[in-house]
Structure 1
């Protein structure tokens, strides 16, 4: 060891790849929890992480569920569906 001036093999050099791996995982986790959730990252503001992602079932789905449960009859279902689809077409 003294003949090489202290530049021999040391086990601590194995920690550098682990350090960088942990660093990259932390950076990825922080980006995923902050920037990408706001829609700035992958997909932009209109991507899968954008602000317009589905917040729940749409109005037609709710109407269909109410009809399936028997809360409204067929006539009321068709009338309300016509109003909803009319607004979407405009």
Structure 2
């Protein structure tokens, strides 16, 4: 009458079941985070296909220290001397 004791889950069975449950929830959480991030990225403003303005690029290079103040002013003067820039 006590035949059900022969089908007891061993230590390895508990380990496999626990590892499977952890992997399952890790997969569910990872999928939820990736979906949340993808939806958040889709609502951002689209980038201008023409790219940033030349003045903005110069300002970024100046802030990063790639060019000094004299070079920055010289290039800004050259940009403004050529007239207004239009994006195509």
Between structures 1 and 2, the one with greater helix share: 2
TM over 0.5: no
**Higher alpha-carbon Rg:** 2
> Please, what TM-score do these two structures have when normalized by structure 1?
0.42
For normalisation by structure 2, the TM-score amounts to 0.42
